[in-house]
Amino acid sequence: MLTPKTLAVLSFLIERPQQIVSKETLLATVWEGTTVSPGALKTCMWELRQALGDHPRTPLFIGTLPRRGYWFIGSIQRTTDPAIIFLHPALAAFPASGLERRRRSQLVVAVPPVSSRVVSPRGSLFGREAALTKLRSFFEQAQAGKPQVVVISGEVGMGKTALIEAFLQDIGSAATVRIARGQCVDQYAEREAYFPVLEALGQLGRSAERTHVVSVLKKYAPTWLAQLLGLVRQTAPEKLQQGLVMGTQGRMLREFVDAVGAFTDDVTARVAPVLILVLEDLHWSDDSTLDLLAALARHRGHNRALRVFVVGSYRPAELRMRDSSLQLPRGIQDHGGYTELALEKLKEKAVAEYLAKRLDSEQIPPQLVHLVHHQTGGNPFFMTEFVEQLLAKGYLLTQEKRWILAPSVEHCGVPPSIRQVVEKQLSQNSEIEQQLLTVASIIGLEFSAAAVAALLNRQTDEVEARCHELVQRHFFLDASGPDLLPDRRCAARYVFSHPFARSVLYAKLPTSRRLELHQQIGLWLEGAYGDQVRSHAPELAEHFERGHDYERAIHYRHYTPTCAGKPRAHLRRAK
Is pLDDT at 99 greater than 50 in this prediction? no
- Determine, yes or no, domain membership for 447: no
- Determine, yes or no, domain membership for 412: yes
Alpha-carbon span 569 to 476, nearest angstrom: 37
Q: What percent of the chain has pLDDT over 90?
A: 23
pLDDT band at 302 (very low <50, low <70, confident <90, very high): low
Q: What is the pLDDT of residues 35-71, one digit of tens each?
A: 566 777 887 888 788 777 777 777 888 888 776 788 8
Mean pLDDT of 130-148: 91
- Domain's final residue, options 342, 375, 406: 342
Lowest-pLDDT range of 93-102, 309-318, 320-329, 502-511: 93-102
With CA atoms as reference, report the closest residue to 6 among 31, 25, 33. Answer: 31
Alpha-carbon span 7 to 1, nearest angstrom: 9
- Determine, yes or no, domain membership for 422: no
In this structure, how many other beta carbons lie within 10 angstroms of the beta carbon of residue 138?
Answer: 20
- Determine, yes or no, domain membership for 300: yes
User: What residues have CB less than 8 Å from 200, skipping those under 6 apart?
Assistant: 180, 181, 182, 277, 278, 279
- The neighbouring-strand residues paired with 110 are 84
Is pLDDT at 136 greater than 80 in this prediction? yes
The answer on 368 and 307 residing in a single domain is: no
Q: What is the pLDDT of residue 356?
A: 92
Answer with the residue of higher pLDDT: 278 or 81: 278
The answer on 353 and 335 residing in a single domain is: no
The answer on 161 and 298 residing in a single domain is: yes
The answer on 367 and 241 residing in a single domain is: no
The answer on 404 and 354 residing in a single domain is: yes
The answer on 164 and 285 residing in a single domain is: yes
The answer on 237 and 156 residing in a single domain is: yes
CATH number of the domain residue 151 falls in: 3.40.50.300
Is pLDDT at 220 greater than 60 in this prediction? yes
- Determine, yes or no, domain membership for 290: yes
Q: What is the pLDDT of residue 242?
A: 53
What DSSP string describes 509-528? Answer: S-HHHHHHHHHHHHHHHHHH
- Domain's final residue, options 342, 372, 397: 342
- Domain's final residue, options 397, 417, 437: 417
- Determine, yes or no, domain membership for 545: no
> Residue 290's domain spans which residues?
129-342
Q: What angle do CA 131, 134, 137 make, to 5 degrees?
A: 155
The answer on 364 and 221 residing in a single domain is: no
Alpha-carbon span 402 to 172, nearest angstrom: 40
The answer on 193 and 85 residing in a single domain is: no
**How many separate domains does the chain show?**
3
Q: What is the pLDDT of residue 116?
A: 31
Is pLDDT at 327 greater than 80 in this prediction? no
- Determine, yes or no, domain membership for 210: yes
- Determine, yes or no, domain membership for 37: yes
pLDDT band at 246 (very low <50, low <70, confident <90, very high): low
The answer on 184 and 47 residing in a single domain is: no
Alpha-carbon torsion angle 325, 331, 332, 336, nearest 10: 120
Q: What is the pLDDT of residue 260?
A: 87
Alpha-carbon span 113 to 86, nearest angstrom: 14
Alpha-carbon span 522 to 524, nearest angstrom: 5
Q: What percent of the chain has pLDDT over 70?
A: 77
Q: What is the pLDDT of residue 535?
A: 85
CATH number of the domain residue 70 falls in: 1.10.10.10
The answer on 216 and 93 residing in a single domain is: no
Q: What is the pLDDT of residue 58?
A: 76
The answer on 111 and 189 residing in a single domain is: no
Answer with the residue of higher pLDDT: 185 or 67: 185
Answer with the residue of higher pLDDT: 563 or 210: 210
Q: What is the pLDDT of residues 349-391, one digit of tens each?
A: 999 999 999 988 888 999 999 999 999 999 998 999 999 889 8
Q: What is the pLDDT of residue 266?
A: 62
Contact 32, 14 (CB under 8 A): no
Most confident of 135-144, 220-229, 324-333, 393-402: 135-144
Is pLDDT at 108 greater than 50 in this prediction? no
Answer with the residue of higher pLDDT: 208 or 564: 208
Across the chain, mean pLDDT equals 79
Q: What is the pLDDT of residues 489-546, one digit of tens each?
A: 788 999 998 899 999 999 989 999 999 999 999 999 888 888 888 888 898 999 999 9
